[in-house]
Amino acid sequence: LAFALAARAAGKRVSIVNDDPCPSRYAWMDPDKDLGDFDNDARSLQGADLGLIFDANELSRARRPAAQLIATGCDVWVFDHHRLAPDSAISGCVATEFSSTGELCFRLLQALQWTVPAAAAAAIYSAISFDTGSFRFLRNQANTLEVAAELLATGIDTNPIQEALWANRPFDETILLGRIVSSIERRAAGKVAWVVVRPEMLKGLSLGPGAAGEAMPSVIGIEGVLVAAMVKPGRKPQEWKVSFRSKTAAKIGHIASARGGGGHAHAAGCTMQGPIDSWIGPLLIELDQAAQ
C-alpha cells in the first residue's frame, strides 16, 4: 500500500491486487479502498508493465495474481527481507539485513527520490511495527529505529496505529486464543512448546485469515521455552501449516528449510502434507535438538 501511494504520487498508474480481501481488522489502513482482491479486481492486472510482490520470497506466495501476470508474460519482481533459496531465479530486491519489508520499502522510495505521502508513511510505520513485534525484534540494529524516527518526523500519529495493531483483537479471536493456549504441550525439560490447532477449535467462530497465528507469541513467550511450533490447518485436506519461533539461544530456520519452507533463523515456517502422526515425531525430535 505504501509503495502504491508513493508511486501514484510520482505519476505512476498502480493497482493492488491480493489473492484474498483485506482482513477487516486492517481496513483502517486503507480508507480509500486501494487494496483489491483477485476475485473482484483481477481485471486491474491486464496490461501491467511490471508486477511487484512485497514481503514474499516465492512467486507462489502471491498465488493467483502472480500466476496471471506470469501467464501474460509480465515481469514479476519480489521485494522482501527473507533469504532466498540457493537455486532461486527470482528477480527483484531481497535484502535480509532489514528488519522488515516495510523498512526496505522506505529506503527504496528514498533511493527513487519519490515523495512519501503521509498515508504511505503511516503504512510503512505499521508494517515495521507489525513485523518487529512493536519494535521488540530489531536484530540489534539502529537502522530500524532511525527509519521509525524519520517516519515520525513526517507528522504521523502513531498512537492509533499501535492501538489498531496491538490492542484491537476481535472477540472471537480471543476465544480462539484461549483454546490454543489451553492445548499447548511442553517437552525437552520445558524448552520446547508446541500446539496443534485442530479444525474443531475453529468451529463456531468468525475468524479472519491468519487468526490462529496471532497466538504464537503466547506459545514462545512461556518462561523457559526456547523453541515453539504451531501446527495449523492448511487450505487443502490433510495440508498443515507449521510455524516456528525461537528465542535468541536457539535457531529453527534450518528446520523449516529442510522441509521446503523458509523464513529467518528465529521465525520460519513450512507446509506439511498428510496425517499429523505421520510426520510430527521426527519434527519434534529436531525441535528438541534445536533447544539444547
Question: Which domains does the chain possess?
Answer: 2-166 (3.90.1640.10), 171-290 (3.10.310.30)
Q: Whole-model pTM?
A: 0.88
Q: What is the pLDDT along the chain (292 residues), one digit of tens a residue?
A: 999 999 999 999 999 999 999 988 889 999 999 999 999 999 999 999 999 999 988 888 899 999 999 999 999 999 999 887 766 778 999 999 999 999 999 999 999 999 999 999 999 999 999 999 999 988 778 999 999 999 999 999 999 999 999 999 999 999 999 999 999 999 999 999 999 999 999 999 999 888 999 999 999 999 999 999 999 999 999 999 999 999 999 999 999 999 999 889 999 999 999 999 999 999 999 999 999 9
Cβ pair 246, 220 in contact under 8 A: yes
Smallest Cα–Cα separation from 185: which of 288, 78, 99? 288
All three cell numbers of 81, joined, read 527481507
Smallest Cα–Cα separation from 1: which of 43, 30, 22, 42? 30
Q: Cα–Cα distance between 54 and 5 in angstroms, integer? A: 14
Q: How far apart, in Å, are the Cα atoms of 183 and each of 198, 231, 257, 278?
A: 10, 12, 26, 20
3-state secondary structure of 131: helix
